Amino acid sequence: MITLLFVMTRQLLSDSLIDILARTGNYTCHSETIYSNAPIAARCYDASVVVIEIATSDTAILQEKFSTFKKIRRAAPNCKLLVICSEDESALQSAVIDAKRSRLIDDFVFINSGVDDLIARIEALL
């Protein structure tokens, strides 16, 4: 069983993704809306993949999220990090691509992508 942790401020999106993925029978899914709790949650749930939403390219918020990624890596070193972000903000795209290149995250997917693409990205990380 693959354990997923969704760290998102959009609870409706998180709940919808969890519902869809849980119905496949292949995933155990958890949700966290407070980003600073993500490292502890990743460790406690023994998450295989943490799916993190980044909704803005605001520099201070991005730095906070990147700091959270580092803390997750320390708390759950075997966990993979997958970012969900908007494809509409070029600054956000660039920041996420740079994070992947520097191995701060393992992969990313655009929020407008379908659930099948998200599942494929998750499975490719394992």
DSSP string, 2-40: EEEEEE-S-HHHHHHHHHHHHHTTSEEEEEE--GGGHHH
Per-residue pLDDT at 114: 81
Can you say whether residue 57 is alpha, beta or left, with left for phi > 0 and alpha for psi between -120 and 50 degrees? alpha
What is the average pLDDT across 40-64? 91
Task: Give the whole-angstrom CA distance, residue 2 versus residue 56.
Answer: 29
The 10 Å Cβ neighbour count of residue 13 is 14
Model confidence pLDDT, tens digit, residues 56-93: 777 888 889 999 999 999 999 999 999 998 888 888 88
For strands 2-7 and 80-85, give the pairing: unpaired
Q: What is the pLDDT of residues 13-38, one digit of tens each?
A: 888 888 888 888 889 999 999 999 99
| pLDDT at res. 83 | 95
Domain residue spans in the chain?
Answer: 2-125
pLDDT of residue 96: 92
CATH of region 2-125, choose from 3.40.50.2300, 2.20.25.90, 3.40.50.150, 3.30.420.40:
3.40.50.2300
* pTM summary value: 0.89
| Dihedral angle over CA of 35, 38, 41, 45, nearest 10 | 120
